[in-house]
Chains A and B, each alone.
Chain A
Amino acid sequence: MSRLSAVKPAYWISGVLLVVAVVVPLLVPTYAKVDPHLWGFPFFYWYQLMWVFLSAILVSISYKLLRTEERRRRAAQGLGDPEAPDAGAAKEGDQ
């Protein structure tokens, strides 16, 4: 319990989100059916296409959580911002 609670919420929340994004689209029995149709698409086809969006949203949330946490950690350790144009050696950016 003590080891578990030492894990920052940002890490385990994003871990759970990523696991959901991997496992749920692979539960074939939950979507291997024809009905209900949507705009002429059988359920099997539109449901999986919908998961492209859902998965992207879940991964985006994980990204936001982890980036915030990582910035906090780096600030605490006195490390610089890697996104800054002059991080490392001076180089032209493309952002």
Chain B
Amino acid sequence: MNTTVDWVQLIIVVVIFGGVTVMGFMASRWRSAGHLDNLDEWGLGGRSFGTFITWFLLGGDLYTAYTFIAVPAAMYATGAISGFFAVPYTIVAYPIVFMFMARLWSVSHRHGYVTPADFVGGRYGSKALSLAVAVTGILATMPYIALQLVGMQAVFETMGLGGNNTLAKDLPLLIAFAVLAAYTYSSGLRAPAMIAFVKDILIYLVILVAIFYLPHVLGGWDSIFGAAQEKLAKPNPATGKPTGTFIPGEAGYVSYWTLALGSAMALFMYPHSVTAVLSTKTRNVVRRNATLLPAYSLLLGLLALLGFMAIKANVNVKGLDGLANPQLAIPRLFDQEFPSWFAGIAFAAIAVGALVPAAIMSIAAANLFTRNIYRDFIKKDATPAQEAKVSKLASLLVKVGALVFVLGMDKTVALNLQLLGGIWILQTFPAIVVGLYTRWFHRYALLAGWAVAMLFGTISAYNVVNPATKKHFGGSIANIPGTETPAYIALTAFVLNLVVVIALTFLFRALKVPDGKDSTHPTDFVADRGDPGVKDLPEILDDGGAATAKS
């Protein structure tokens, strides 16, 4: 085990991190059209990003440091079902996004919506429904931010940072976080957009080298897959069942595709994905990106296979606390198989990779708070400047919250909550995506469906008990009620959600329960930049801000 600090690695990480920090602060002046004192400028980068920047921004946003640690870790620990499903997941995500996201862009730009909850509020004329969407978004995002820090921690631990006393152990994380908070506060969405370039280039470099160099060192792909197959077939001492899955058998088919489909549908419900999409310049930037982003899916697929390489290379995954921690598989693999300087670059890539999504997530959560809680319920006449100020403070608060999470609580709490977050966020799909096409669903039916599915999903996830540790929240797969078929809880809950929404919509329509006012018009959903009523940034400023631009 590595208990001494590797100075070469540390120096490289510190230099790259320092460079990125300077970029983050300079970003406020990059492509800036106005002052950062309104939400469109600070929270959406002026809504001016084209295909090229968006590709880096979305790539940096969706494929997080945690993904880079967790997917190969899952491959290392339990194999294909919990790990490689990420490949079909990111494959099917883009056709789905291609279908509906352009409509969300159009309607948001015509009405000055900054968050998905803004759209739901405007479409259904229901603040309660908009609040439900906003709260779900914030709840799902916070543990996700916390997990970015867990990813960073794994890297710092491998570099030999952190001793026995708490301060030394947590200091690197505290510094990284203070830096992140400071430049997000000063530069808004422009900071992660700029840093995403560095992050993505580093990650591509590291993965490509790893994917060509490591099989050569480890004896070829045949023996890597062979070692994985052998390890995953070994019985788990606690349960007597195989440790994992090399290729899903018939019993695993449904789990595999429901995990992929459920995660794909949930991906663009996360507020940070929507924030990145709304920051684009024209309606078609997101569609063009749906054709280009699969490059990252390929990267993720190759990266997943690094988990199998860690099996073959027999890496030591014991953490500082002496317990086996699969999250360490990838950092340890790099540490063991690469020269120090290259491992340093890889670690810097992961650490910087945590900053981009953490920044965007905190901005997105802050936007939700400002627009759908602060403005809707606390201060109804907030000016754009006040909104931007509240958002900046909220983004700080969100990050501090995440930090407290990671440092104060057991890491498994963040993991459990992130697992729940995936289940929760999918339950906003009917209100957001179906709402882009039809107003048929009744607002209270949507609210009821959401509530039932949230409850069902949470209880089902709680009831999954890890066979080895006997702890609750043991995974995200449970039998579909009344059957013996295991499936992804999020998707089961989603089906329940839809059934409730449809049944209650019939009921409420029959009882003539008042429908909310729809402030959108069918042409709003196909509007593009330059069309009448579609606001580009300077016009929004002239109008007194997006906040008052609701028609």
A contacts, CB < 8 Å to B: 18-19, 21-22, 25-29, 32-34, 37, 39-42, 44-45, 48-49, 51-53, 55-56, 58-60, 62-63, 66-67, 70, 74, 79-84, 87-89, 91-95
Instruction: Please tell me if the beta carbons of B249 and A56 are within 8 angstroms of each other in the complex.
Output: no
A62 vs B287: C-alpha distance when bound (angstroms): 10
A45 vs B87: C-alpha distance when bound (angstroms): 9
A35 vs B125: C-alpha distance when bound (angstroms): 55
Instruction: Please tell me if the beta carbons of B31 and A28 are within 8 angstroms of each other in the complex.
Output: no
Partner of A26, one of B80, B257, B294: B257
- Complex: chain A residue closest to B261, CB-CB: A26
Residues of A contacting B260 with CB < 8 Å? 25-26
Instruction: Please tell me if the beta carbons of A94 and B92 are within 8 angstroms of each other in the complex.
Output: no
Residues of B contacting A28 with CB < 8 Å? 248, 252-253, 256-257
Known: A82-B282, A82-B529. A22 touches B247 (CB 8 A): no
- Complex: chain B residue closest to A73, CB-CB: B526
B contacts, CB < 8 Å to A: 31, 33, 48-53, 80, 84, 87-88, 90-92, 94-96, 98-99, 215, 220-222, 224-225, 246-250, 252-253, 256-257, 260-261, 281-284, 287-288, 290-292, 294-295, 297-298, 301-302, 305, 526, 528-531, 534, 536-539
Residues of A contacting B49 with CB < 8 Å? 94
**Contacts A/B (CB < 8 Å), 8 sampled:** A25-B88, A33-B247, A56-B295, A82-B531, A88-B536, A91-B48, A94-B53, A94-B281
Instruction: Please tell me if the beta carbons of A40 and B222 are within 8 angstroms of each other in the complex.
Output: yes
Return B167 CB to nearest CB of chain A, in Å: 44
Instruction: Please tell me if the beta carbons of A63 and B291 are within 8 angstroms of each other in the complex.
Output: yes
Partner of B530, one of A39, A45, A70, A88: A88
- Complex: chain B residue closest to A14, CB-CB: B98
Instruction: Please tell me if the beta carbons of B287 and A63 are within 8 angstroms of each other in the complex.
Output: yes
Nearest 7 A-B pairs (CB), nearest first? A40-B221, A87-B530, A88-B536, A82-B529, A82-B528, A21-B95, A56-B294
- Complex: chain B residue closest to A20, CB-CB: B95
Residues of A contacting B257 with CB < 8 Å? 26-28
Residues of A contacting B290 with CB < 8 Å? 59, 63
Instruction: Please tell me if the beta carbons of A55 and B283 are within 8 angstroms of each other in the complex.
Output: no
A83 vs B52: C-alpha distance when bound (angstroms): 14
Residues of A contacting B31 with CB < 8 Å? 92, 94
Return A87 CB to nearest CB of chain B, in Å: 3
Instruction: Please tell me if the beta carbons of B98 and A59 are within 8 angstroms of each other in the complex.
Output: yes
A46 vs B452: C-alpha distance when bound (angstroms): 40
Instruction: Please tell me if the beta carbons of B530 and A95 are within 8 angstroms of each other in the complex.
Output: no
Instruction: Please tell me if the beta carbons of A48 and B528 are within 8 angstroms of each other in the complex.
Output: no
Return B197 CB to nearest CB of chain A, in Å: 12
Return A76 CB to nearest CB of chain B, in Å: 13
- Complex: chain A residue closest to B536, CB-CB: A88
Instruction: Please tell me if the beta carbons of B99 and A52 are within 8 angstroms of each other in the complex.
Output: no
Instruction: Please tell me if the beta carbons of A55 and B91 are within 8 angstroms of each other in the complex.
Output: yes
Instruction: Please tell me if the beta carbons of B33 and A91 are within 8 angstroms of each other in the complex.
Output: yes
- Complex: chain B residue closest to A49, CB-CB: B301
A83 vs B215: C-alpha distance when bound (angstroms): 45
Known: A25-B92, A55-B94, A82-B282. A91 touches B221 (CB 8 A): no
A93 vs B50: C-alpha distance when bound (angstroms): 7
Instruction: Please tell me if the beta carbons of B301 and A59 are within 8 angstroms of each other in the complex.
Output: no
Instruction: Please tell me if the beta carbons of A55 and B92 are within 8 angstroms of each other in the complex.
Output: yes
Instruction: Please tell me if the beta carbons of A48 and B221 are within 8 angstroms of each other in the complex.
Output: no
Partner of B52, one of A48, A49, A79, A95: A95
- Complex: chain A residue closest to B53, CB-CB: A94
Known: A22-B96, A55-B94, A59-B98. A41 touches B87 (CB 8 A): no
Instruction: Please tell me if the beta carbons of A55 and B294 are within 8 angstroms of each other in the complex.
Output: yes
A42 vs B222: C-alpha distance when bound (angstroms): 9
Instruction: Please tell me if the beta carbons of A63 and B98 are within 8 angstroms of each other in the complex.
Output: yes
Known: A56-B294, A88-B534. A18 touches B247 (CB 8 A): no
Instruction: Please tell me if the beta carbons of B253 and A89 are within 8 angstroms of each other in the complex.
Output: no
Residues of A contacting B281 with CB < 8 Å? 93-94
Residues of B contacting A66 with CB < 8 Å? 287
Instruction: Please tell me if the beta carbons of A59 and B536 are within 8 angstroms of each other in the complex.
Output: no
Residues of B contacting A22 with CB < 8 Å? 92, 95-96, 261
- Complex: chain B residue closest to A62, CB-CB: B98
Instruction: Please tell me if the beta carbons of B282 and A83 are within 8 angstroms of each other in the complex.
Output: yes
Residues of A contacting B291 with CB < 8 Å? 56, 59-60, 63
A65 vs B310: C-alpha distance when bound (angstroms): 44
A33 vs B80: C-alpha distance when bound (angstroms): 12
Instruction: Please tell me if the beta carbons of B536 and A42 are within 8 angstroms of each other in the complex.
Output: no
Instruction: Please tell me if the beta carbons of B88 and A32 are within 8 angstroms of each other in the complex.
Output: no
Return B93 CB to nearest CB of chain A, in Å: 9
A26 vs B89: C-alpha distance when bound (angstroms): 9
